[in-house]
Amino acid sequence: MKKLTTLNNGIEIPYLGLGTFLAHGDDCAHAVEFALRHGYDLIDTAQGYRNERQVGKGWKASGRPREDIFITTKISYGNRGYDEALQSFASSLEDLQTEYVDLVLIHWPDIQDFDRTIDTWHALVELQEQSKSRSIGVSNFTIPLIERLLETTDVVPVVNQVEFHTFLYQQDLLAYCQNKGIQIEAYSPVAKARFFDHEDLRKVAQKHAKTPAQVMLAWLVNHNLVAIPKSVNESRILENADIFFELDNEDMQILDHIEPQTRLVKELGVFDD
């Protein structure tokens, strides 16, 4: 299976990355360094995670050339707005010890004042024009919110990073984004490990001699989604990298129709289901 996919601006992104939500201090820096030394090329962070400095320390310690690593960060909800986004991004670059990132996202849309979201997008467009970010995208955007954004810009987001896993198979959003050329990137890709004992999931895992987490991640890749599982545990980081295997039609049918379907992340009033 391919380990890279191409975004709508021609930039390649790995299908697998390390998420760093809730990772802090030396644990975060070590996890980033370890992951980059053991099969990962994509590191995902955010201003709101308050660990960009540790991510910068970790990727530097890995010894990997900067051009071989895909680094993503996000403009936090508190830094939304044109000037605020630009100023905060400059601090992000300093903390990350890099002159550019490969992808910067709007972390959460402001549904109460969407003009602020549009202003933030205009700032991201400027960052891309200045080559301070190779790509720009969004996170936690529903179809109607993407539509509202696209009414104001000719620059289509390359990525929409959302909660997506076998127990939240957002088929309408996936089809819409694929039609627009927007890559879905899945956070919480193993559903916070809440369903590892599910009978159907374990059945598929046993068939392939894999763990439930590996099957959930492989399911995403088989659907051409980017996955960013988070961990600071070395054995789990290694386990999560062993996901590039084919699931057959029977496996995909089982996983595509698994129950229950439930959203685990509900914040900032964006999701009303």
d(CA 153, CA 97): 31
d(CA 97, CA 52): 9
Is residue 49 annotated as part of the catalytic site, yes or no? yes
Other CB atoms within 10 A of residue 14 CB: 19
d(CA 149, CA 212): 37
d(CA 141, CA 160): 7
Backbone angles phi, psi at 113, to 5 degrees: -140, 75
Point out the catalytic residue in the list 40, 49, 77, 187. 49
- Which amino acids are annotated catalytic? 49
